[in-house]
C-alpha cells in the first residue's frame, strides 16, 4: 500500500507517517499534488576495510609511486 500526502498534512501527521514508513509502507510527500520526496527508513551501512586483502594480484611496478614528470605537475618541481 502507498500513502501520498501534501506538505501541510505531512507536517501535522509526521509521527503517523514515520510509523507507516517503519512498517514498510511507501510514504510520499507532495507539493500541490506533485510528488517531491519519499520517506525512507534509515539503514546503517557498515564499512569494513581490508576484506579483500591478499586476494588481488598486482604488479608492484605499477604501484611504485608517481614518476618525476607526474610529480612535477602536482607538486613543486624536484631539484
Domain that includes residue 23, residue range: 2-39
Average pLDDT over residues 9-17: 97
Name which of 63, 20, 57, 59 is nearest 40 in CA terms: 20
Flag whether 28 is in a domain: yes
Span of 21-25, 42-46, 61-65 with lowest mean pLDDT: 61-65
What pTM, to 2 d.p., does this model score?
A: 0.55
Residue 19, domain CATH: 3.40.1620
User: For the chain, how many structural domains are there in total?
Assistant: 1
Average pLDDT over residues 23-36: 96
List pLDDT tens digits, range 48-77. 887 777 777 766 666 666 677 877 777 776
Which DSSP helix (H) or strand (E) runs through 5? strand 2-6
Amino acid at each position: 500500500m502507498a500513502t501520498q500526502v501534501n506538505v501541510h498534512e505531512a507536517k501535522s501527521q509526521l509521527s503517523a507517517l514515520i510509523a507507516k514508513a517503519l512498517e514498510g509502507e511507501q510514504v510520499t510527500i507532495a507539493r500541490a499534488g506533485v510528488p517531491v520526496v519519499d520517506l525512507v527508513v534509515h539503514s546503517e551501512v557498515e564499512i569494513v576495510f581490508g576484506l579483500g586483502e591478499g586476494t588481488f594480484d598486482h604488479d608492484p611496478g605499477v604501484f611504485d609511486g608517481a614518476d618525476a614528470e607526474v610529480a612535477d605537475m602536482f607538486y613543486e618541481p624536484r631539484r
